[in-house]
Structure 1
Amino acid sequence: MDTHGPVCVGIDPHPALLETWGLTDSPEGLRRFALTVVDALGGRVAALKPQSAFFERHGSAGIAVLEEVLAAARTAGTLTVLDVKRGDIGSTMAGYADAYLRDGAPLAADAITLSPYLGFASLRPALDLARSTGRGVFVLALTSNPEGHHVQHAVAAAGPVARQMVDGARAENDIDAEAPLGSVGLVVGATVGAAAADLGLDLAATRGPLLAPGVGAQGAGPRELVHVFGDARRQVLASTSRGVLAAGPSASALRDALGSAVDSAAAALR
């Protein structure tokens, strides 16, 4: 983030975008799309965020492409956040952790997204493995989909459900305020408005990175980033997908779109 700016670009090869790029909805179209993004933006962006679902829908051939994309990003020296939103219990959660966070795993990424709604403590295998391998996780806290607030804003005996995710991340990081951000971050949508303030969430106190989807095509811009994150804005990694990807397949156009996104986000988050 310090080197390339506070922007993460999603690699979301959904069928409509493949068609816009003149590519077939096939493993080969998927491969050309994703590797074009890596080639154009690798070494120029804080992180790339492949959306696993769009690779999984092509079966084993799609997963093979995802492995290739993660390897290409590593070669380019670019961090990856694999958007898998996994969440389970016991040995199953340990299996997911092993798949994405173990050194040498074919699908190993620098960070993954996790769903904590079987209880924050159910994520323990992933939290521990990420820490031991120097990787990170982003735990869903306040998502931008309209259905999310029915669960995330609900109030239990311990307070709002989303606060439990914030408290869990803060406890995991537990680092000095002058130290770098910890390895346990949160997903907080850039379009959630005043939700964090209304629920009494101290996002800055987590001392972890805040992945903020919804920037660009989903409607969030500098004003929304400031409104949502306030004093925590310097912890934000703003995530955009269509706002940059729609400029492709030209590599120069993708880079120009990235530059515009970085300039806009940096002005709000400084």
Structure 2
Amino acid sequence: MSVLSFGDRLAAEFAASRHLCAGIDPHAGLLGDWGLDDDAAGAERMGRDVVAAAAGVAACVKPQISFFERFGSAGFAALERVLADARSAGLIVIADAKRGDIGSTFAAYAEAWLSEGSPLEADALTVSPYMGAGMLAQADGAVRAHGKGLFVLAATSNPEARAVQTAVREDGRTVASAMVADAVEVNQELAPAGIGTGAVGSLGVVLGATLRLAEFGIDTDAYDDGPALPVLAPGFGHQGARIEDAAELFGGLGRALLANESRSILSGGPSGLAARVQERAAAIAAALSDGKGLA
């Protein structure tokens, strides 16, 4: 039996006008606002509540792994239960773990986060590729055999990353633009023959919605051919980026856009959580379908 690719699963979400990626960020301040203790139990409660609110409404959820990991084994046990809830609800899960290494070490990360049946199984993993794009080959088995995905950090909104990501390589490209081009190339290699024009790739990139991508050497209209490149875009909502400006921000790169929002959903506590998720999901869907955002 063939396995549905991660890109195919994303394409189904987009076809249903679901583009919201709901963040799960149980840091101390937000847990306090929720009336929860800053411990593993509090993180679990928030995570499971977000999953319940997002099911059938958001395209996916994205737990920030560090906020669970800080509680040690109890935190990972809590995260496992959040992930189990998400799987039961049929939600796509992007584990925001930003893993990156070489050889067998990265293969072990892929086994932990992308293997079918793993307690930490997610559908996709954020990765930091600064030890070389070749490291991604170590996850190739999971991507192909288990229908998993990767999101490569390309242009991120933290100011201290700009010097690295805008550095010019020997081939004349910036590091950020090379990351995008490599992701596009891998998606084309993975795509089966005769793939349709509405196809979505399984390897995506992280591009901050608060950035001017041209300043990172990224030509947003250079990648119209082949499977759409999934773009995980933090920065909408609380951080100030407007979803109505998506076309201007991402151009042709925004064909498969996941708009990540965390604080705008989580602020305000558990009361009204479901309504906030529904409101942001509807606003994003409207903006990306009425000509203000992406066609």
TM-score computed with the length of structure 2 as normaliser: 0.85
* Maintained 8 Å contact 1:41/1:254: no
User: Among residues 2, 7, 14, which one is paired with 2:27 in the alignment?
Assistant: 14
Post-superposition offset of 1:4: 5.0
User: Among residues 161, 171, 176, which one is paired with 2:175 in the alignment?
Assistant: 161
Query: Structure 1 residues 199, 79: CA separation in 2 closer, same or farther (over 3 Å shift)?
Result: closer
- For 1:265, the equivalent position in structure 2 comes to 284
Provide the secondary structure at the position in 1 that maps to 2:56. Answer: coil
* Maintained 8 Å contact 1:193/1:227: no
Query: Structure 1 residues 83, 204: CA separation in 2 closer, same or farther (over 3 Å shift)?
Result: farther
- Report runs of 4+ in structure 1 exceeding 6 Å deviation: none
| Structure 2 letter corresponding to 1:103 | E
Q: How does 1:186-205 map to 2 (within 5 A)?
A: 186-195=205-214, 198-200=217-219, 202=222, 204-205=224-225
Cα deviations by residue, 1:25-60 (Å, 9 ceiling, x for unpaired): 011111211111112222321100000000000000
- For 1:129, the equivalent position in structure 2 comes to 142
* Maintained 8 Å contact 1:190/1:224: no
- For 1:228, the equivalent position in structure 2 comes to 249
* Maintained 8 Å contact 1:177/1:207: no
| Structure 2 letter corresponding to 1:260 | E
Post-superposition offset of 1:230: 1.3
Q: Which runs of no fewer than 5 residues in structure 1 stay unpaired?
A: none
Structure 1 window deviating more from structure 2 (160-169 vs 197-206): it is 197-206
Provide the secondary structure at the position in 1 that maps to 2:200. Answer: coil
Post-superposition offset of 1:207: 2.5
* Maintained 8 Å contact 2:235/2:261: yes
When the two chains are superposed, the root-mean-square deviation of aligned CA atoms in Å is 1.8
- For 1:149, the equivalent position in structure 2 comes to 162
- For 2:96, the equivalent position in structure 1 comes to 83
Q: How does 1:9-158 map to 2 (within 5 A)?
A: 9-158=22-171
- For 2:185, the equivalent position in structure 1 comes to 171
Query: Structure 1 residues 22, 78: CA separation in 2 closer, same or farther (over 3 Å shift)?
Result: same
Query: Structure 1 residues 196, 105: CA separation in 2 closer, same or farther (over 3 Å shift)?
Result: farther
Q: Distance in 2 between matches of 1:247 and 1:226?
A: 30
- For 2:203, the equivalent position in structure 1 comes to 184
* Maintained 8 Å contact 1:30/1:55: yes
Post-superposition offset of 1:86: 0.3
Structure 1 window deviating more from structure 2 (5-14 vs 232-241): it is 232-241
Query: Structure 1 residues 141, 167: CA separation in 2 closer, same or farther (over 3 Å shift)?
Result: same
User: Among residues 221, 239, 262, which one is paired with 1:241 in the alignment?
Assistant: 262
Post-superposition offset of 1:114: 0.6
| Structure 2 letter corresponding to 1:154 | A
Provide the secondary structure at the position in 2 that maps to 1:155. Answer: coil
Q: Distance in 2 between matches of 1:127 and 1:161?
A: 22
* Maintained 8 Å contact 1:193/1:224: no
Aligned length: 268
Q: Which runs of no fewer than 5 residues in structure 2 stay unpaired?
A: 1-12, 288-292
* Maintained 8 Å contact 2:265/2:276: yes
Post-superposition offset of 1:226: 2.4
- For 2:8, the equivalent position in structure 1 comes to none
* Maintained 8 Å contact 2:23/2:261: yes
Q: Distance in 1 between matches of 2:253 and 2:74?
A: 40
Larger RCO, structures 1/2 (Cα 8 Å, 6+ apart)? 2
Q: Distance in 1 between matches of 2:216 and 2:187?
A: 21
Cα deviations by residue, 1:228-267 (Å, 9 ceiling, x for unpaired): 20123231100000111113302xx222212222233231
Q: Distance in 2 between matches of 1:197 and 1:27?
A: 38
Q: Distance in 2 between matches of 1:104 and 1:6?
A: 27
Provide the secondary structure at the position in 2 that maps to 1:238. Answer: strand
Query: Structure 1 residues 200, 38: CA separation in 2 closer, same or farther (over 3 Å shift)?
Result: closer
* Maintained 8 Å contact 1:191/1:224: no
Structure 1 window deviating more from structure 2 (175-184 vs 60-69): it is 175-184
Q: Distance in 1 between matches of 2:213 and 2:46?
A: 36
Query: Structure 1 residues 27, 48: CA separation in 2 closer, same or farther (over 3 Å shift)?
Result: same
